Amino acid sequence: MRSNYWKIIITIGILSGALFSLSCGRQAPVAEVQASAADPQRKAAEDAIRLMPDSPRGYNQVAAFYIKQARRTGDFRLNTKAETAVNKALELDATDIQARKLEASLQLTFHRFAEALELGTKLREEFPNDAFVYGVLTDANAELGNYDAAVNAVQKMVDLKPNASSYARVSHIRSLYGDTEGATEAMKTAARTADPQDAEEQSWCLVQLGDEFRKNGKYAEAEKVYTEALSILPDFYLALAGTGKVRAMQGDLEAGVKFLTEAQNRVPNVETVIALGDIYMIQENTEKARQQYDLVEVIEQRLGGDQKPGGDQKRLALMWADQNIKLDEALAMAESEYLARKDIYTADVYAWCLYRKGRFAEAKAAIAQAMSLKTKNARILYHAGMIEKGLGKNREAARLLKAALELDPKFDLIQAGEAEKALRGVPV
């Protein structure tokens, strides 16, 4: 699998250069953007439906509007409205290519990866040179753990259309295969080639770049990029959350609370909610911490888990396993997800839940799958080290725990501390 990655992805040229500033094409704050840009787009869609009620065109425009708003605001429930519009478009013309593309894209948003793969495969048969289709295939295959197919799809996509969308996917695949430098350069290129009139796209790419820095322990570089994202799209919830995390990782817990609270007030993203809860726990404010952790469950109940936009049951299972609570429920969630998809991150959560239940041999098999691409991920290394410790393999446990902490010393505000304690307690 790894040889296939290097055979294909290495052919994509890496553009060099230091961290750059996207100073042109910056837009107004979110409220102004919604008033000046979003409303005309929606009105144009409504006008198209009124003028051509039997055409899918207007409904496709409505769907595209809601998808864009969902990305911008973080309210992924808007994608349900987009799906209704797409279904109407397909009802009017089942062969409409734009509606079919939107349908495939929405399946990814709803975490219906097998369905997205099926739709994408059919589209590729009819439109073998459509870059968008290969984006769907890249995402679906990566989420399902079909990594060779994902590599082939992203190579075809970037060959057909080397733009921000394709380079962002190149970055993701490179990161999966442990090519940190390549992932960073590709995401820089994605941000550089983003539409200068699309502040959300530019900022999103910069946040992904910041995340790549952060998970490799480069916290100062990550914060710089998040700050740049906020200068382009003020109050962008992902950039606020990223800033809060790196501030806390660098020891400034008060600033972490400030930025994460701002992000949560805009969008109660599960990762943001958990990170804020972890800071409160470190500060020994257990009441506020528990409120945060309880909120994760409320969000999941409201969104309906992975089958609804924004749902993330796998993350809920990981939170419970980290806290060593509700282990039967956590394992059931992780196992259900694992049976549906075999990506490395699902395998990692499944392995961790098995470990917490004391099923070390099964956990070892699952974590081996999680490590199969040699992804540089401190959490996976930490889980692997703890599993080896549970099996009595102290030398290997120490190696893996040390590697996790060297890669990303604060990969998790609480679990990194547990890794340090475990490493000190391993007799080698």
228-259 pLDDT, tens digit per residue, is 999 999 999 999 999 999 999 999 999 999 99
Q: Which of 92, 395, 403, 373 is nearest to 383 (CA)?
A: 403
Return the half-sphere exposure (C-beta side, CA atoms, 13 A cut-off) of residue 353. 26
Contact 232, 22 (CB under 8 A): yes
Per DSSP, helices labelled H in 10-96 are 30-33, 39-51, 57-73, 78-92
Q: Kindly list the domain boundaries of the chain, sorted by start residue.
A: 269-311
d(CA 236, CA 182): 26
One-character DSSP codes across 402-424: HHHHHH-TTSSTTHHHHHHHHHH
What angle, 0 to 180 degrees and rounded to 10, lies between the N-to-C axes of helices 237-249 and 199-214? 20
**Low-confidence winner among 67-71, 88-92, 215-219, 311-315 (lowest mean pLDDT):** 311-315
**Length of the chain in terms of residues written:** 428
Average pLDDT over residues 373-393: 98
d(CA 142, CA 136): 10
pLDDT band at 135 (very low <50, low <70, confident <90, very high): very high
Q: Which of 212, 214, 248, 210 is nearest to 230 (CA)?
A: 210
* Residues whose CB is less than 8 angstroms from the CB of residue 32 and which lie 6 or more positions away in sequence, other chains included: none
pTM metric for this prediction? 0.88
Average pLDDT over residues 116-132: 98
pLDDT band at 74 (very low <50, low <70, confident <90, very high): confident
Contact 136, 119 (CB under 8 A): yes
The answer to whether residue 197 scores a pLDDT higher than 70 is yes
264-293 pLDDT, tens digit per residue, is 999 988 999 999 999 999 999 999 999 999
Q: Which of 384, 341, 378, 386 is nearest to 365 (CA)?
A: 384
97-123 pLDDT, tens digit per residue, is 999 999 999 999 999 999 999 999 999
Tell whether the torsion through CA atoms of 370, 375, 380 and 384 is positive or negative: positive
44-63 pLDDT, tens digit per residue, is 777 778 777 789 999 999 99
297-334 pLDDT, tens digit per residue, is 988 877 654 444 444 689 999 999 999 999 999 999 99
Structure tokens of 22? Answer: 């996207």
d(CA 104, CA 84): 14
